[in-house]
Amino acid sequence: MEGSDLAEGGTADSHPPGAARTRTVVPAGLASTLGELRRSGWESVPVHEELRRNAARRIAEGRALVDGVAGFEHSVLPQLEHALLAGHDVILLGERGQAKTRIARSLVSLLDEWMPAVAGSEMRDDPYRPISRQARDLVEAAGDDTPISWVNRSERFAEKLATPDTSIADLIGEVDPIKVAEGRYLSDELTMHFGLLPRANRGIFILNELPDLAERIQVGLLGILEERDVQIRGFAIRLAVDVMLVATANPEDYTNRGRIITPLKDRFGAQIRTHYPRDAVTELEIVRAEARPALAGAGVPRVEMPEFMAAVVAEISQLARQSPHLNQHSGVSVRMSIANYETLGAVALARALRLGETEAAPRVSDLQALSASMEGKVEIEALEEGREERILQGLVSSAVLSVYRSLVDPETVAAIPGSFEESTVVHAGDDLELSAYAEALEALEALQTPVMALARSENPAVVASAVELVLEGLHLTKRLNKEASGPRATYRGRLSR
Contacts of 2 (CB under 8 A, 6+ apart): 69, 70, 71, 72, 98, 99, 274, 275, 276, 277, 282, 286, 334
Residue 438 has pLDDT above 90, yes or no: yes
What is the distance between the alpha carbons of residues 114 and 43, in angstroms, rounded to a whole number?
13
- The CATH number of the domain covering residues in 34-273: 3.40.50.300
pLDDT digits (tens, 9 = 90+) for 8-43: 333 333 444 444 444 568 888 899 999 999 999 999
pLDDT digits (tens, 9 = 90+) for 264-277: 889 999 999 999 99
DSSP secondary structure string for all residues of 65-123 = SSSS--S-TTTHHHHHHHHHHHT--EEEE--TTSSHHHHHHHGGGGS-SEEEEETT-TT
pLDDT digits (tens, 9 = 90+) for 311-362: 999 999 999 999 988 888 888 999 999 999 999 999 999 999 999 999 999 9
- pLDDT-derived band at 387 (thresholds 50, 70, 90) equals confident
Cβ contact 203:19 at 8 Å: no
Whole-number pLDDT of residue 329: 80
Whole-number pLDDT of residue 232: 64
pLDDT digits (tens, 9 = 90+) for 460-486: 999 999 999 999 999 999 999 999 887
Whole-number pLDDT of residue 26: 80
Alpha helices in 296-433 (DSSP H): 307-320, 334-355, 371-374, 387-407, 410-413, 416-419
Higher pLDDT among residues 44 and 376, named by residue: 44
Q: What is the dihedral of CA 216, 220, 225, 229, to 10 degrees?
A: 170
Q: For residue 363, how far is the Cα from the chain centroid?
A: 27
Phi, psi (deg, nearest 5) at residue 22: -100, 165
DSSP secondary structure string for all residues of 153-173 = GGGSEEEEE--TT--HHHHTE
Cβ contact 404:473 at 8 Å: yes
pLDDT digits (tens, 9 = 90+) for 183-225: 666 566 667 778 888 889 999 999 999 988 888 888 888 877 7
Cβ contact 305:291 at 8 Å: no
What is the distance between the alpha carbons of residues 397 and 392, in angstroms, rounded to a whole number?
9
* Mean per-residue pLDDT over the chain, rounded: 86
pLDDT digits (tens, 9 = 90+) for 412-437: 999 999 888 877 899 999 889 999 99
Strands 488-492 and 425-429, sheet pairing: antiparallel
Cα angle vertex 484, ends 481, 490, to 5°?
55
What is the distance between the alpha carbons of residues 433 and 297, in angstroms, rounded to a whole number?
22
Whole-number pLDDT of residue 13: 38
Domain limits, the chain: 34-273, 280-492
pTM confidence score: 0.82
Whole-number pLDDT of residue 449: 95
Order of all β-strands in the sheet with 488-492 = 425-429, 488-492, 481-485
- High-pLDDT (> 90) share of the chain, %: 59
Cα angle vertex 303, ends 302, 307, to 5°?
140
